[in-house]
Amino acid sequence: MSRRKPDPTSGSWIEAVSAISGRSAEAVSAFLDRHDIREQALIPRPADITIQRVAFGGEKDGETGAVPFEFEWPDLGPGLWLIGSDRNLKGKTSLLGVMRWLLRGSRPDSIPSDVLPWIRHAKLDFLLDGVPHRASVDLRTGYLGHLVEAKSGMPELDRIQAASPEAFADAVSEFMMRSLGLYPILGIRKDGEEAQVIRHRWPALFGAFHIGTDYSALLGNVVEDGLPNRMLNMFAGFPHAPAVASIMHVLAGLKISVEREDRSRDAVSAHARVRVARLREELSTLERTGTRDPAADHLAVIRRVTGEVESEYERLPALQREAAEAADAAISARRQHNSDRLALQHFVEAGAAAAVFRALDPKCCPRCDRTFGADRRMREQQARTCMVCGDETLTTEAEDAAEVRARLERAERLSAQIRKDAQAAEDAARAAVRACQERIEDLDRQLKAARARLAEARTDEARQSRRAVLEAMIAEMEGDIAMAAAQPETDEGAIAKACEAVFKARLKAEQDEVLTDVQDEVRALLRALGIEDLAAVRLTSHPQLKLLKRKVEVNYSDLSVGEKLRCKIALVVALMKVAQTRGVGRHPGILFIDTPGAQELAEGDLQAMAAGLASLCRDLPTLQVFVATKRVAEFEAAVPPEHRLVAPLGGPVW
């Protein structure tokens, strides 16, 4: 009768993982605590970000020199906002870049390098979950990054003050991640045999709020480390998404550890295989010689010496580490002793110089050459005052100097003794290493000699016995090699794999319901954005998006750039709509779209997309969308005049 396979969605985490891994509940609980993996009891809710005002200023480079400027775009709020000009390179993308800079904490590459030096100060007022905040950078006298909470009727509360771009970026990242309930997405990058952990924080997650001209990823702008999939899970608010992300990181770390152990075992096995090859070579070249000593005696020596060699090899790394540590300690002791000795020498030399100056007997004033009289000399002797400057002579100077010198001499003697002891410890540690190496060399010589004597001890009659012994040794070593290659699964690995099965199964159960709603919203949004021949949409958790157009299923990667743009917009907005409907999610409800008209969109398609975005903003009253384009006419019907910032004909936006 077959045993029923455990259900990963049944029972608590610990019960399900214990049943699948075959490990005890205590071991599973200890594993989860060790890796800080916990069930999410707090259901994430969307915390909106709404920009209210952006202002910046500085000096532009003009034909006649630097021209001061100040720019402000006030009275912003939810809805669709248009930044337009009739030409490129008029400041549209730079304006979006400044807003993104102050929300991200780090400057995006979209601000041209020749424009960035113009901006000397910038401010952004925004609501974070309904609470007013202001982010600013001031480059006029160095660097100052500032973030304050500015509730109406209350004093401003400093949240961040940073004196460098790196510190400001780190602080804003930490603040935004905490305020929006986000968590870092961890990845592991391998460089040859080494690996390092990559922590994708706020700047990477911010890619889900900005759509530029890179459409390689359906969600965000980074494909590495499974970011689109993990951002989808995060912004959809799946309770098991953090657990899946954590266990995948643990599994990646375990894989690296296993690979390192495998490399170590491979090195040992390679050494064993070399020894097996040598034994086989010896087996094939046995000499026909007589012997006076029993072969068993030589075999015993070989086994004993082999064991001693292995024991010495095991001791050697620890001895080498001790020698290195002793050498470091000796260097520190020598440095301290030299420092103490130099301090004493300087003190003695300074005292000698002072004694010389005190022994001087001045005859006249060094300034006016006036000779000192006998009465002044008498005052110096009686009142203990200097003839030249009139200051009192310190009688305790010699006593203080003696105390200082005694203290310096004690310090020098102590550091000298410490140096001596450290040098002795280093010599002893190095001697132990040399002794171990010499012992290994001696044992190797003994082993070679024993094998030589054993070979000489073989007669024609005993040759078969020797062959049997060598074959037994080879079989034993090959057995060890085989055992090293077939290592049993550790408790850590078994529990981690079981956690992966449990968390992913429960995440899938959460995804099945929500992603169906997101998929339906994506389909409706794509139609609203101008894709009319769309029959169906299929969205997977990877995420992968496939469109059924005229009975032909087309992958996202095969769509035109204009269709990819609308797919990215539709997915982000669908996540926000479903989050608002369900009251669960983490997307802050802000979106930047840069140069949509450049993506091969026909006039009618762009007008349809503009109308669709306006409709979305009406359906989602907290949604704020900024669009920068030179095709202003297509957006005029969808964007009210008070929501437009359009440059004059041929002129700049700012």
Dist. CA 286–CA 281, nearest whole Å:
9
For position 46, what pLDDT does the model report?
Answer: 73
Question: Which structure tokens are listed for 82?
Answer: 């248009």
| Burial class of 368 by CB neighbour count within 10 A (0 to 12, 13 to 18, 19+) | exposed
Query: What is the DSSP pairing of strand 590-594 with strand 210-211?
Result: parallel
Dist. CA 518–CA 523, nearest whole Å:
9
Helices (H), 3-55: 13-21, 25-34
Question: Which structure tokens are listed for 199?
Answer: 């922590």
Over residues 401-450, the pLDDT tens digits come to 788 888 988 988 998 999 999 899 889 989 998 998 998 899 899 889 88
With contact defined as beta carbons under 8 Å apart, do 133 and 148 qualify?
Answer: yes
For position 541, what pLDDT does the model report?
Answer: 76
The helix (run of H) or strand (run of E) holding residue 240 is none
Q: Determine the average pLDDT of the residues in 596-616.
A: 74
235 vs 129, 210, 230, 572, 601, CA distance in Å?
16, 14, 9, 9, 29
Q: Determine the average pLDDT of the residues in 125-130.
A: 93
Over residues 71-101, the pLDDT tens digits come to 999 999 999 999 998 888 888 989 999 999 9
Question: Which structure tokens are listed for 247?
Answer: 């266990």
Write b or e for each residue in 19-57: b if 16 or more Cβ atoms lie within 10 A of its Cβ, otherwise e.
bbbebeeebbeebbeebebeeeeeebebbbbbbbebbbb
What are the beta bridge partners of residue 591? 625
More confident residue, 190 or 88: 88
Residue 623 has a CB neighbour count (10 Å cut-off) of 23
In a domain, 487, yes or no: no
The most confident of the ranges 167-171, 352-356, 377-381, 478-482 is 167-171
Backbone dihedral region for residue 184 (phi beyond 0: left; psi -120 to 50: alpha; all else: beta): beta
Dist. CA 108–CA 139, nearest whole Å:
17
Dist. CA 359–CA 356, nearest whole Å:
5
Dist. CA 304–CA 282, nearest whole Å:
19
For position 313, what pLDDT does the model report?
Answer: 86
For position 484, what pLDDT does the model report?
Answer: 63
With CA atoms as reference, report the closest residue to 568 among 593, 536, 602, 532: 593
pLDDT band at 284 (very low <50, low <70, confident <90, very high): confident
Domain that holds residue 442: 291-457
Beta strands in 141-205 (DSSP E): 144-149, 157-162, 185-191, 194-200
Over residues 469-509, the pLDDT tens digits come to 777 888 877 777 776 665 677 888 889 899 989 988 888 88
| Burial class of 4 by CB neighbour count within 10 A (0 to 12, 13 to 18, 19+) | exposed
User: pTM, whole model, 2 decimals?
Assistant: 0.62
Q: Count structural domains, the chain.
A: 1
For position 483, what pLDDT does the model report?
Answer: 67
pLDDT band at 174 (very low <50, low <70, confident <90, very high): very high
Over residues 301-345, the pLDDT tens digits come to 888 888 888 888 888 898 899 989 989 988 998 999 999 889 889
Could you give phi then psi for residue 184, rounded to 5 degrees?
-65, 145
- In this structure, the dihedral spanned by the alpha carbons of residues 420, 423, 425 and 431, taken in order and rounded to 10 degrees, is -140
For position 230, what pLDDT does the model report?
Answer: 80
Identify the weakest region by mean pLDDT among 308-322, 371-385, 571-585: 371-385
Dist. CA 182–CA 205, nearest whole Å:
9
For position 288, what pLDDT does the model report?
Answer: 45
pLDDT at 349 over 80: yes
With CA atoms as reference, report the closest residue to 102 among 81, 119, 85: 119
In a domain, 221, yes or no: no
| Burial class of 5 by CB neighbour count within 10 A (0 to 12, 13 to 18, 19+) | exposed
For position 385, what pLDDT does the model report?
Answer: 67
Q: Determine the average pLDDT of the residues in 556-577.
A: 85
Q: Determine the average pLDDT of the residues in 177-205.
A: 78
In a domain, 518, yes or no: no
For position 526, what pLDDT does the model report?
Answer: 87
For position 384, what pLDDT does the model report?
Answer: 64
For position 1, what pLDDT does the model report?
Answer: 41
Dist. CA 559–CA 252, nearest whole Å:
33
More confident residue, 435 or 61: 435
In a domain, 252, yes or no: no
For position 485, what pLDDT does the model report?
Answer: 62
Which one-letter amino acid corresponds to residue 551? K
405 vs 76, 117, 314, 401, 622, CA distance in Å?
74, 59, 50, 6, 76
For position 98, what pLDDT does the model report?
Answer: 95
Dist. CA 376–CA 389, nearest whole Å:
12
For position 411, what pLDDT does the model report?
Answer: 87
Dist. CA 92–CA 639, nearest whole Å:
16
With contact defined as beta carbons under 8 Å apart, do 448 and 261 qualify?
Answer: no
Residue 542 sits at the vertex; the CA angle it makes with 536 and 543, to the nearest 5 degrees, is 45
Q: Determine the average pLDDT of the residues in 238-250.
A: 81
Using DSSP, how many helices (H) and how many strands (E) does the chain show? Answer: 15, 16
Q: What percent of the chain has pLDDT over 90?
A: 20
The helix (run of H) or strand (run of E) holding residue 649 is none
Which one-letter amino acid corresponds to residue 383? A
For position 289, what pLDDT does the model report?
Answer: 45
Dist. CA 332–CA 419, nearest whole Å:
8
Over residues 607-653, the pLDDT tens digits come to 888 888 888 888 888 889 999 998 888 898 899 999 999 999 888 88
Mean pLDDT across the chain, nearest whole number?
A: 83
Identify the weakest region by mean pLDDT among 107-121, 382-396, 540-554: 382-396
In a domain, 389, yes or no: yes
In a domain, 417, yes or no: yes
In a domain, 434, yes or no: yes
DSSP character string of 305-367: HHHHHHHHHHHHHHHHHHHHHHHHHHHHHHHHHHHHHHHHHHHHHHHHHHHHHHT----B-TT
In a domain, 46, yes or no: no
